Amino acid sequence: MSWLFGIAVFFFGLMASIALHEVGHLVPAKLFGVKVTQYMVGFGPTMWSRRRGETEYGVKWIPLGGYIRMIGMLPPRPADDPNKLRAVSTGPWRALIENARDVALEEVRPGDENRVFYRKPWWQKVIVMAGGPAMNFVLAFVLFAVVLMGFGVGVLTTRVDSVPKCVKTTAEYTKNPECTSADKPSPAAAAGLRPGDVIVSVAGKPTPTWEEATRAIRGHGAGPVAIGVTRNGQAVTLNATLIAQDRESLDVPGKIDKGVGYLGVSPTTIIERQGIGSVTTQMWNLTAATAGSLMRFPEKMVGVWNAAFSGEERDKNGPIGIIGAGRIGGEIAASSAPLENKVATFINLLAGFNLAIGLFNLIPLLPLDGGHIAGGLWEGLKRAFARVTRRPTPGHVDIAKALPLTYAIAFVMVIMAGLLMYADLVNPVRLAG
């Protein structure tokens, strides 16, 4: 039951995030006088709706997104030049574009001429379309602030929590987790480090934080090194002989640093509430990491394909769909962690999803918000150039011409969504194991 409850809670959290994303579009659209006929969460048949004024608000049955319908998203076909013959094309793309124009203009009624989206100033278009991703960024920041400033986060300290007696590879540990006489003693145990010792220096260099101590040990490499510790209030210097090991990089997740120095101690973790500066740093670091992942998105999707059909291990830092996100929510709820930790993990995960949704929507391709933003910025640039060069004001950017590419991208996105759902069912991302 707790697993199902976790899925439901995380699912509704995602739906609330999508609903607020659309509010980010809805509010500026109404402020700028654009007529909005629908505000919907989900796609497909309508589950529930209610009309308020000129806008129908509702929920649809397929929970894979949401939208607002603004009238006049596409401009009408350009007026014919009376001095030229009208170009007539019966090609499929031309027919598609003209049909889309007609559909977009069907909702325009007498008196709505100045309320269509395409006639709004370019900067208003940009604000309306950027409002959705901006709402996701605000949500992510608020949710990260709740976790970091309200619950606090685990901070690794230089106080030693445990000292393994021996060094084992993963395969050796799986076969027998207990140390035997055949196993090599860990450098920390051989040097006499004890739980409760506080590491204050490595090779004579002060190490006030666990990260600095780790970097100093790794950077030293294999060989003897002096480890300064505080034990029961007394300064003690221990002589350890580090060994070389392959460890995951501290800077690039997933990368393995070969032959770095290894001591073999586990740090004590304490919970500390952070300040607003830590929230900003968290947002910046995760934004940079997520943007980097989006740049490698095609490569990541190849990994999802291999995991789905070849049984390869699923990349925990790779993309997942709504089904996968729900399963993670179920794992969190079903875990043995304290309730406070579960709630903090839920919120932190939801914050990360909002950040990813916001960045993904900024990709400058239609039908994503970023495509409309790019169109608005291009229109503003063209008009600014015309003013500087004293040329006639150019017309509105005709995004209808990009519809063939838009439909192609939408088709690819549907295929990717289907692949993610399948992979989430047959080889899901798991928090543990």
- What is residue 165's DSSP assignment? S
Measured CA to CA, the distance from residue 334 to residue 329 in angstroms comes to 9
Q: Note the Cα 48 to chain centre separation in Å.
A: 30
Spatial contact of 243 and 231, defined as CB atoms under 8 Å apart? no
178 among known catalytic residues: no
- Cβ contact 274:343 at 8 Å: no
Q: How many other C-beta atoms lie within 10 A of the C-beta of residue 411?
A: 10
The DSSP secondary structure of 278-311, one letter per residue, reads HHHHHHHHHHHHHHHHHHTHHHHHHHHHHHHHH-
Backbone Cα Rg of the chain = 28
Do the beta carbons of residue 153 and residue 147 sit within 8 Å?
A: yes
Active-site residues, by number, are 22
